[in-house]
Protein backbone atom coordinates (compact mmCIF):
# COMPACT_ATOMS: atom_id res chain seq x y z
CA UNK A 1 0.00 0.00 0.00
CA UNK A 2 1.34 3.42 -0.95
CA UNK A 3 0.45 6.49 1.08
CA UNK A 4 1.56 10.06 0.64
CA UNK A 5 2.45 12.34 3.53
CA UNK A 6 0.90 14.32 5.03
CA UNK A 7 -1.35 11.45 6.08
CA UNK A 8 -4.06 13.44 7.92
CA UNK A 9 -4.14 17.22 7.62
CA UNK A 10 -4.24 19.74 10.48
CA UNK A 11 -3.90 17.20 13.25
CA UNK A 12 -0.93 17.69 15.59
CA UNK A 13 0.38 15.35 18.30
CA UNK A 14 -1.03 12.29 16.50
CA UNK A 15 -1.65 9.12 18.45
CA UNK A 16 -2.44 5.91 16.56
CA UNK A 17 -3.07 2.65 18.37
CA UNK A 18 -4.35 -0.74 17.25
CA UNK A 19 -6.67 -2.99 19.26
CA UNK A 20 -9.33 -5.58 18.42
CA UNK A 21 -8.51 -5.36 14.73
CA UNK A 22 -9.06 -1.60 14.54
CA UNK A 23 -6.81 1.43 14.32
CA UNK A 24 -7.68 4.41 16.50
CA UNK A 25 -6.50 7.93 15.74
CA UNK A 26 -6.69 10.98 17.96
CA UNK A 27 -4.75 14.25 17.92
CA UNK A 28 -4.79 17.91 18.88
CA UNK A 29 -7.18 19.97 16.77
CA UNK A 30 -6.14 23.55 15.86
CA UNK A 31 -8.94 25.03 17.97
CA UNK A 32 -7.68 23.17 21.09
CA UNK A 33 -11.28 22.88 22.28
CA UNK A 34 -12.19 19.19 22.10
CA UNK A 35 -11.11 15.55 21.99
CA UNK A 36 -11.74 13.71 18.70
CA UNK A 37 -11.39 10.09 17.60
CA UNK A 38 -11.35 8.11 14.35
CA UNK A 39 -11.58 4.33 14.02
CA UNK A 40 -10.87 2.10 11.02
CA UNK A 41 -9.90 -1.46 10.22
CA UNK A 42 -7.16 -0.14 7.92
CA UNK A 43 -4.55 2.58 8.13
CA UNK A 44 -5.69 4.11 4.86
CA UNK A 45 -9.24 4.13 6.17
CA UNK A 46 -8.25 6.55 8.93
CA UNK A 47 -7.76 9.28 6.35
CA UNK A 48 -11.48 9.50 5.57
CA UNK A 49 -13.02 7.82 8.63
CA UNK A 50 -15.76 9.55 10.58
CA UNK A 51 -14.25 11.82 13.21
CA UNK A 52 -16.29 11.80 16.38
CA UNK A 53 -16.07 14.41 19.12
CA UNK A 54 -15.77 12.51 22.40
CA UNK A 55 -15.72 15.54 24.68
CA UNK A 56 -15.77 19.32 24.45
CA UNK A 57 -14.10 21.64 26.90
CA UNK A 58 -16.62 23.41 29.14
CA UNK A 59 -17.02 27.18 29.13
CA UNK A 60 -15.10 27.54 32.39
CA UNK A 61 -13.18 25.53 34.93
CA UNK A 62 -9.72 23.99 35.25
CA UNK A 63 -9.97 22.03 31.96
CA UNK A 64 -11.81 24.62 29.87
CA UNK A 65 -9.04 25.78 27.53
CA UNK A 66 -6.12 24.61 25.38
CA UNK A 67 -6.94 20.91 25.12
CA UNK A 68 -3.66 19.30 24.04
CA UNK A 69 -2.33 15.92 22.93
CA UNK A 70 -5.06 13.38 23.70
CA UNK A 71 -4.09 9.71 23.75
CA UNK A 72 -6.46 6.72 23.76
CA UNK A 73 -5.57 3.74 25.96
CA UNK A 74 -7.40 0.67 27.21
CA UNK A 75 -6.96 -0.14 30.88
CA UNK A 76 -8.82 -2.50 33.16
CA UNK A 77 -12.38 -2.72 31.88
CA UNK A 78 -12.65 0.62 30.07
CA UNK A 79 -11.16 2.99 27.53
CA UNK A 80 -9.35 6.09 28.75
CA UNK A 81 -8.23 9.26 27.02
CA UNK A 82 -5.39 11.15 28.70
CA UNK A 83 -5.02 14.80 27.75
CA UNK A 84 -3.81 18.14 29.09
CA UNK A 85 -5.89 21.29 29.48
CA UNK A 86 -5.70 24.67 31.17
CA UNK A 87 -8.20 26.97 32.91
CA UNK A 88 -7.47 29.76 30.41
CA UNK A 89 -4.90 30.98 27.90
CA UNK A 90 -3.22 33.04 30.60
CA UNK A 91 0.52 32.59 30.99
CA UNK A 92 2.02 32.64 34.49
CA UNK A 93 5.75 32.61 35.12
CA UNK A 94 6.34 32.06 31.43
CA UNK A 95 4.11 28.98 31.12
CA UNK A 96 0.51 28.01 30.50
CA UNK A 97 -1.25 26.40 33.44
CA UNK A 98 -1.92 22.93 32.05
CA UNK A 99 -2.65 19.92 34.19
CA UNK A 100 -3.42 16.36 33.10
CA UNK A 101 -6.93 14.89 32.90
CA UNK A 102 -8.69 11.71 31.82
CA UNK A 103 -11.91 10.66 30.12
CA UNK A 104 -13.44 7.21 30.64
CA UNK A 105 -15.76 5.01 28.57
CA UNK A 106 -16.68 1.40 29.55
CA UNK A 107 -18.01 0.58 26.06
CA UNK A 108 -16.22 -2.12 24.06
CA UNK A 109 -16.13 0.28 21.10
CA UNK A 110 -14.64 3.69 21.97
CA UNK A 111 -16.73 5.29 19.22
CA UNK A 112 -19.88 4.15 21.05
CA UNK A 113 -21.17 4.59 24.58
CA UNK A 114 -20.75 7.59 26.82
CA UNK A 115 -17.50 9.33 27.58
CA UNK A 116 -17.32 10.82 31.06
CA UNK A 117 -14.86 13.32 32.48
CA UNK A 118 -12.86 11.27 34.99
CA UNK A 119 -11.03 14.20 36.56
CA UNK A 120 -7.44 15.20 37.05
CA UNK A 121 -4.54 12.78 37.02
CA UNK A 122 -2.37 14.23 39.77
CA UNK A 123 1.36 13.88 39.06
CA UNK A 124 2.37 14.78 42.60
CA UNK A 125 4.03 17.97 41.32
CA UNK A 126 1.67 20.93 41.15
CA UNK A 127 3.06 22.61 38.05
CA UNK A 128 2.65 22.74 34.27
CA UNK A 129 2.36 19.20 32.90
CA UNK A 130 1.20 17.55 29.68
CA UNK A 131 1.63 14.79 27.09
CA UNK A 132 0.80 11.77 29.22
CA UNK A 133 1.05 8.25 27.86
CA UNK A 134 0.55 4.88 29.51
CA UNK A 135 2.02 1.44 28.90
CA UNK A 136 2.15 -2.00 30.47
CA UNK A 137 5.38 -3.92 30.90
CA UNK A 138 6.08 -7.16 32.77
CA UNK A 139 2.71 -7.10 34.52
CA UNK A 140 2.93 -3.49 35.65
CA UNK A 141 1.29 -0.39 34.20
CA UNK A 142 3.18 2.89 34.00
CA UNK A 143 2.35 6.55 33.43
CA UNK A 144 4.86 8.67 31.51
CA UNK A 145 4.54 12.42 30.96
CA UNK A 146 6.18 15.83 30.55
CA UNK A 147 6.34 18.16 33.55
CA UNK A 148 7.77 21.42 34.74
CA UNK A 149 9.61 21.09 38.06
CA UNK A 150 9.78 24.27 40.15
CA UNK A 151 13.42 23.63 41.01
CA UNK A 152 14.64 22.86 37.46
CA UNK A 153 15.05 25.54 34.75
CA UNK A 154 13.09 25.08 31.56
CA UNK A 155 9.61 24.11 30.41
CA UNK A 156 9.43 20.36 30.93
CA UNK A 157 11.26 17.16 31.77
CA UNK A 158 10.04 13.56 31.39
CA UNK A 159 8.77 11.64 34.41
CA UNK A 160 7.74 8.03 34.97
CA UNK A 161 5.58 6.53 37.72
CA UNK A 162 3.71 3.29 38.36
CA UNK A 163 -0.08 3.41 38.11
CA UNK A 164 -2.31 2.41 41.01
CA UNK A 165 -5.46 2.79 38.91
CA UNK A 166 -6.01 4.07 35.35
CA UNK A 167 -6.43 7.59 36.77
CA UNK A 168 -4.04 7.57 39.73
CA UNK A 169 -0.27 7.12 39.95
CA UNK A 170 0.98 4.76 42.60
CA UNK A 171 4.39 6.10 43.51
CA UNK A 172 6.70 9.10 43.38
CA UNK A 173 7.65 10.38 39.93
CA UNK A 174 11.10 9.48 38.61
CA UNK A 175 12.75 11.93 36.21
CA UNK A 176 14.11 10.13 33.14
CA UNK A 177 15.46 13.12 31.20
CA UNK A 178 15.71 16.90 31.19
CA UNK A 179 16.75 19.24 28.36
CA UNK A 180 20.54 19.33 28.34
CA UNK A 181 21.92 19.05 24.81
CA UNK A 182 22.04 21.96 22.36
CA UNK A 183 19.33 20.44 20.13
CA UNK A 184 16.96 20.19 23.15
CA UNK A 185 17.11 23.86 24.13
CA UNK A 186 16.41 25.69 20.86
CA UNK A 187 13.83 28.36 21.64
CA UNK A 188 12.65 26.59 24.78
CA UNK A 189 14.12 24.01 27.16
CA UNK A 190 11.73 21.17 26.37
CA UNK A 191 11.47 17.40 26.67
CA UNK A 192 7.88 16.36 25.86
CA UNK A 193 5.65 14.06 23.84
CA UNK A 194 6.98 10.67 25.04
CA UNK A 195 5.99 7.43 23.31
CA UNK A 196 6.94 3.88 24.23
CA UNK A 197 7.96 0.91 22.10
CA UNK A 198 9.17 -2.39 23.58
CA UNK A 199 11.31 -4.36 21.13
CA UNK A 200 14.47 -6.48 20.97
CA UNK A 201 14.91 -6.74 24.72
CA UNK A 202 14.67 -2.99 25.35
CA UNK A 203 12.09 -0.42 26.35
CA UNK A 204 12.44 2.58 24.04
CA UNK A 205 11.02 6.03 24.74
CA UNK A 206 10.99 8.58 21.95
CA UNK A 207 10.36 12.20 22.88
CA UNK A 208 10.44 15.66 21.31
CA UNK A 209 12.55 18.68 22.20
CA UNK A 210 12.95 22.43 21.57
CA UNK A 211 10.44 24.92 20.15
CA UNK A 212 7.58 23.72 17.94
CA UNK A 213 8.95 25.30 14.74
CA UNK A 214 11.54 23.82 12.38
CA UNK A 215 13.86 23.23 15.35
CA UNK A 216 11.55 20.61 16.85
CA UNK A 217 13.23 17.18 16.82
CA UNK A 218 12.89 13.66 18.20
CA UNK A 219 15.20 12.13 20.79
CA UNK A 220 15.52 8.62 22.20
CA UNK A 221 15.86 6.94 25.60
CA UNK A 222 16.15 3.23 26.28
CA UNK A 223 16.47 0.73 29.10
CA UNK A 224 16.96 -3.02 29.26
CA UNK A 225 13.56 -4.70 29.26
CA UNK A 226 14.44 -6.62 32.43
CA UNK A 227 15.73 -3.59 34.33
CA UNK A 228 13.89 -1.64 37.00
CA UNK A 229 12.33 1.10 34.88
CA UNK A 230 11.81 3.26 37.98
CA UNK A 231 15.56 3.53 38.54
CA UNK A 232 16.72 6.47 36.43
CA UNK A 233 20.25 5.03 36.36
CA UNK A 234 18.99 2.20 34.12
CA UNK A 235 18.04 4.58 31.31
CA UNK A 236 20.32 5.64 28.46
CA UNK A 237 19.93 8.73 26.28
CA UNK A 238 21.08 9.43 22.76
CA UNK A 239 23.22 12.58 22.70
CA UNK A 240 21.97 13.31 19.17
CA UNK A 241 18.42 13.63 17.84
CA UNK A 242 17.11 10.66 15.88
CA UNK A 243 14.58 12.44 13.61
CA UNK A 244 14.94 16.02 12.40
CA UNK A 245 13.83 18.63 9.86
CA UNK A 246 14.59 17.72 6.25
CA UNK A 247 14.37 20.89 4.15
CA UNK A 248 15.12 19.03 0.92
CA UNK A 249 11.99 16.94 1.43
CA UNK A 250 9.98 19.88 2.79
CA UNK A 251 9.40 18.33 6.21
CA UNK A 252 9.86 20.85 9.03
CA UNK A 253 9.73 20.27 12.77
CA UNK A 254 8.92 16.54 12.87
CA UNK A 255 7.96 15.41 16.34
CA UNK A 256 5.46 14.38 18.99
CA UNK A 257 5.27 10.88 17.60
CA UNK A 258 3.51 7.66 18.46
CA UNK A 259 4.09 4.09 17.28
CA UNK A 260 1.81 1.50 15.74
CA UNK A 261 2.15 -1.55 13.48
CA UNK A 262 1.13 -2.50 9.96
CA UNK A 263 -2.02 -4.50 9.36
CA UNK A 264 -0.04 -7.75 9.13
CA UNK A 265 1.66 -6.90 12.45
CA UNK A 266 5.11 -7.34 10.93
CA UNK A 267 6.38 -3.77 10.61
CA UNK A 268 6.58 -1.00 13.19
CA UNK A 269 5.34 2.40 12.08
CA UNK A 270 6.36 5.87 13.19
CA UNK A 271 3.48 8.37 13.36
CA UNK A 272 4.43 12.02 13.84
CA UNK A 273 3.44 15.57 12.97
CA UNK A 274 5.31 18.10 10.83
CA UNK A 275 4.77 21.15 8.65
CA UNK A 276 5.55 21.21 4.93
CA UNK A 277 6.97 24.75 4.98
CA UNK A 278 9.50 26.58 7.14
CA UNK A 279 8.30 30.15 7.57
CA UNK A 280 5.49 30.50 10.10
CA UNK A 281 3.55 33.71 10.61
CA UNK A 282 3.17 34.50 14.30
CA UNK A 283 3.50 32.08 17.21
CA UNK A 284 3.96 28.46 16.01
CA UNK A 285 1.52 27.32 18.71
CA UNK A 286 -1.42 28.91 16.89
CA UNK A 287 -0.39 27.73 13.43
CA UNK A 288 -2.85 25.02 12.25
CA UNK A 289 -0.58 23.41 9.67
CA UNK A 290 0.98 20.62 11.68
CA UNK A 291 -0.08 17.49 9.81
CA UNK A 292 0.00 13.83 10.81
CA UNK A 293 2.52 11.75 8.87
CA UNK A 294 3.71 8.15 9.03
CA UNK A 295 6.44 5.86 7.78
CA UNK A 296 8.01 2.45 8.52
CA UNK A 297 10.54 2.28 11.35
CA UNK A 298 13.71 0.37 10.57
CA UNK A 299 16.00 -1.59 12.91
CA UNK A 300 19.76 -2.04 12.85
CA UNK A 301 21.76 -5.19 13.57
CA UNK A 302 22.02 -4.29 17.26
CA UNK A 303 18.26 -4.00 17.68
CA UNK A 304 18.20 -0.22 17.78
CA UNK A 305 15.55 1.77 15.91
CA UNK A 306 16.54 3.65 12.76
CA UNK A 307 14.19 6.57 12.15
CA UNK A 308 15.89 7.67 8.94
CA UNK A 309 14.78 10.69 6.90
CA UNK A 310 11.16 11.83 6.66
CA UNK A 311 9.42 10.32 3.64
CA UNK A 312 6.92 12.13 1.44
CA UNK A 313 5.65 8.90 -0.16
CA UNK A 314 5.67 5.68 1.83
CA UNK A 315 5.21 2.04 1.03
CA UNK A 316 3.41 0.38 3.93
CA UNK A 317 4.02 -3.39 4.01
CA UNK A 318 1.02 -5.65 4.43
CA UNK A 319 -1.54 -2.86 4.07
CA UNK A 320 -4.81 -2.58 2.24
CA UNK A 321 -5.76 0.56 0.37
Residue 321 domain-assigned (yes or no): no
Give me the number of domains the chain comprises: 1
Distance (Å, rounded) from C-alpha 272 to C-alpha 254? 6
Inside any domain, residue 192? yes
Strand partners for 220: 206
Is 99 a member of any domain? yes
Has residue 196 been placed in a domain? yes
pTM above 0.95, yes or no: yes
pLDDT of residue 76: 82
CATH number for the domain that contains residue 79: 2.115.10.20
Q: Is residue 206 part of a domain?
A: yes
315: left (phi over 0), alpha (psi -120 to 50) or beta: beta
Helical H segments across the chain, by residue range: 43-46
Whether residue 215 lies inside any domain: the answer is yes
Among 69, 72, 304, which Cα is nearest to 203's?
Answer: 304
Note the pLDDT of residue 319: 60
Residues annotated as part of the active site: 13, 192
In a domain, 320, yes or no: no
For residue 105, what are the CA distances in angstroms to 72, 76, 112, 178?
A: 11, 11, 9, 34
Mean pLDDT of residues grouped by 10 in the chain (321 residues)? 93 96 98 98 96 98 98 94 98 96 97 98 97 98 98 97 97 98 98 98 98 98 98 98 97 98 95 97 95 97 98 80 50
Full residue range of the structural domain in which residue 70 is found: 2-315
Cβ pair 252, 164 in contact under 8 A = no
Instruction: Give CA–CA dist 209/189, Å, rounded.
Output: 7
Residue 171 inside a domain? The answer is yes
Amino acid sequence: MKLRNPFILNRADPHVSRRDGHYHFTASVPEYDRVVLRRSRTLAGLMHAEEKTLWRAPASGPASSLVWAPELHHGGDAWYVYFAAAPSREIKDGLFQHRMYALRNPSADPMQGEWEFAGRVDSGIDAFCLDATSFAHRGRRYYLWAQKHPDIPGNSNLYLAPMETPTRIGGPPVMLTRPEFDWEVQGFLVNEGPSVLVRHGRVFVSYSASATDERYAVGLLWADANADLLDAANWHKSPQPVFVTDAEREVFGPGHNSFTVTEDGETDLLVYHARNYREIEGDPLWNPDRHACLQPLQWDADGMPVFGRPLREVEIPGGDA
